[in-house]
C-alpha cells in the first residue's frame, strides 16, 4: 500500500541549514522547499522547489492553505551581521515581518512553525547562556532576530524556536562558512588571522537539522538552545580544523576581535548551555572535533 507522507514546508531551502533540513526531511515527508530564487543546480532530487518570499503574507498564506504542512521550518533569514547595520529595513523585513507572515499562515491553517534564532540576541558579557537568561542584543541583526522570536511567540501559532550559533556545514552552492573558508585558505597556503577572544559552540548544520526535526515532532512550545556541545574560541577551533584536515597550522595567527574593525559588535563571551534540549528532546550534539570530522565525511561523500 502506498504510504502518504505528511507535507512540510522549508523556507530558505537553498541556505546552509535549509539544504540540510530538506535532505533529512525528504525521507519521511513530502517537502515543499521555498527560497527567494530557485537555482536548479542546488535542488535536491525528488523535492518540489518554489520561488517564494517569506515577507509576503499573501504568498505564505496561499502556500500554506494549498499544502497544509504539518510543520513549517523557517531557515530563511537576513544573515549578514555587518550588513544589517546599514541595510536595516531589509533585515527587519526578512527577520521580523517574514517570521510574522509565516506565523500568520501557520496560525490560520494549523501548522506548527519551527523557527531558528541566534546567540546574537545576547551581549556576550556573561555567557554561556541558558534559555532563561535575559537577551540584550549588541547589533541590529541580533535586535531583529530577537524581535522575530517575539513576533512568533505572540502570534497565536503553534511555535518552537531553536537558537543556534557559529553554524558551519556543507550545502552545494552555499556561501563559505567559517570552517569551509578556513579549509580553503589553508589548502592554498594562505595565512589567516583568527580571533582568540570570541567564544561559542560551533554547530554542524546537519546536526542542527536533526535536532530541529526532533523539536518539531516534540510538540513543545518552547525555546531551546541547539548547538554543538563544546564551547571553544575561534583560534583554537582553527587549530582543530588544521589538525583534522592535515593542514599547516603555522599559517594561523591569533588576533583580537578589536583588530578586525567590523561594523557590528560581536558577543565575545557567548556560548550556550544545551542541557534543556539534551534532557527534554533527547538530542546529542557533536563536539567541535566530532563536527569537523563529520563535515569532512559529508564533503567527501558529496564529491565522490
Ligand atoms: N550562519 C550562522 O552562523 C548562524 C548562527 C546563528 C543562527 N543562525 C540562524 O540560522 C538560520 C539559518 O542560517 P543559514 O546560515 O543557513 O542562512 P543562509 O545560508 O543565509 O540561508 C538563508 C536562506 O534564506 C533565503 N532568503 C533570504 N530572504 C528570503 C526571503 N525573503 N524569502 C525566502 N527566502 C529568503 C536566502 O536567500 P539569499 O541567499 O538569496 O538571500 C538563503 O537561501 C537563520 O535563521 C540564521 O539567523 C545562523
Closest atom of ligand 1 relative to the 116 alpha carbon: 45
Q: Give the Å distance between the CA of 292 and the centre of ligand 1.
A: 21
Ligand 1 center to residue 49 CA distance, Å?
A: 16
Ligand 1 mutation pick, 10, 11, 17, 169, max ligand atoms within 8 A of CB:
17
Return the pLDDT at 173: 86
Q: How far is CA 49 from the centre of its chain?
A: 20
* Residues having CB within 6 Å of any atom of ligand 1: 11-12, 14-18, 34-36, 53-55, 75-77, 79, 94, 98, 116, 118, 145, 164-167, 174
Q: Which atom of ligand 1 is nearest to the CA of 17?
A: 16
> Which atom of ligand 1 lies closest to the CA of 93?
31
Average pLDDT in the 55-75 region?
98
Average pLDDT, the chain: 97
Rounded to 10 degrees, the C-alpha dihedral 168/9/117/77 comes to 80
Band of residue 4 on the pLDDT scale cut at 50, 70, 90: confident
pLDDT in tens, 100-154: 999 999 999 999 999 999 999 999 999 999 999 999 999 999 999 999 999 999 9
Q: Kindly report the pTM of this predicted structure.
A: 0.97
Q: pLDDT at position 174, please?
A: 84
What domains sit in the chain, N to C, each tagged with a CATH number?
A: 7-175+200-230+272-287 (3.40.50.720)
How far is the C-alpha of 13 from the C-alpha of 144, rounded, in Å? 21
Using 50, 70 and 90 to split pLDDT, how confident is the model at 1? Answer: low
What is the reported pLDDT for 251? 98
Q: Which atom of ligand 1 is nearest to the CA of 120?
A: 6
Residue 84 has pLDDT above 80, yes or no: yes
In this structure, what C-alpha cell is assigned to residue 251?
A: 599559517
pLDDT single digits (tens) 241-300: 999 999 999 999 999 999 999 999 999 999 999 999 999 999 999 999 999 999 999 999
**From ligand 1's centre to the CA of 3, what distance in Å?**
32
Distance CA 39, CA 59 (A): 19
Amino acid at each position: 500500500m502506498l504510504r502518504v507522507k505528511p507535507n512540510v514546508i522549508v523556507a530558505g531551502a537553498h541556505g546552509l541549514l535549509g539544504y540540510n533540513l530538506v535532505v533529512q526531511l525528504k525521507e519521511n515527508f513530502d517537502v515543499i522547499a521555498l527560497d527567494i530564487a530557485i537555482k536548479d543546480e542546488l535542488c535536491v532530487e525528488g523535492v518540489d522547489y518554489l520561488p517564494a518570499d517569506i515577507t509576503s503574507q499573501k504568498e505564505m498564506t496561499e502556500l500554506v492553505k494549498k499544502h497544509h504542512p504539518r510543520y513549517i521550518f523557517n531557515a530563511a533569514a537576513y544573515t549578514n551581521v555587518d550588513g544589517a547595520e546599514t541595510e536595516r529595513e531589509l533585515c527587519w523585513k526578512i527577520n521580523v515581518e517574514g517570521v510574522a507572515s509565516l506565523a500568520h499562515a501557520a496560525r490560520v491553517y494549523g501548522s506548527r512553525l519551527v523557527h531558528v534564532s541566534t546567540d546574537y540576541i545576547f551581549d556576550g558579557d556573561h555567557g554561556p547562556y541558558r534559555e532563561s537568561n535575559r537577551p540584550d542584543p549588541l547589533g541590529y541583526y541580533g535586535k531583529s532576530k530577537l524581535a522575530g522570536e517575539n513576533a512568533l511567540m505572540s502570534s497565536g501559532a503553534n511555535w518552537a524556536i531553536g537558537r543556534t550559533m557559529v553554524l558551519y556545514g556543507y550545502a552545494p552552492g552555499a556561501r563559505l562558512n567559517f570552517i569551509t573558508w578556513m579549509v580553503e585558505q589553508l589548502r592554498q597556503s594562505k595565512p589567516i588571522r583568527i580571533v582568540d577572544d570570541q567564544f561559542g559552540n560551533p554547530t554542524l548544520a546537519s546536526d542542527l537539522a536533526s535536532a530541529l526535526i526532533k523539536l518539531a515532532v516534540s510538540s513543545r512550545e518552547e525555546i531551546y538552545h541547539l548547538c554543538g556541545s563544546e564551547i571553544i574560541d575561534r583560534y583554537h577551533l582553527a587549530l582543530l580544523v588544521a589538525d583534522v584536515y592535515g593542514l599547516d597550522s603555522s599559517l594561523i595567527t591569533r588576533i583580537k576581535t578589536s583588530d578586525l574593525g567590523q561594523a557590528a559588535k560581536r558577543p565575545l563571551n557567548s556560548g550556550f548551555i544545551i542541557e534543556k534540549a539534551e534532557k527534554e528532546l533527547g538530542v546529542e550534539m557533536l563536539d567541535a572535533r566530532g563536527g569537523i570530522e563529520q563535515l569532512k565525511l559529508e564533503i567527501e561523500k558529496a564529491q565522490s
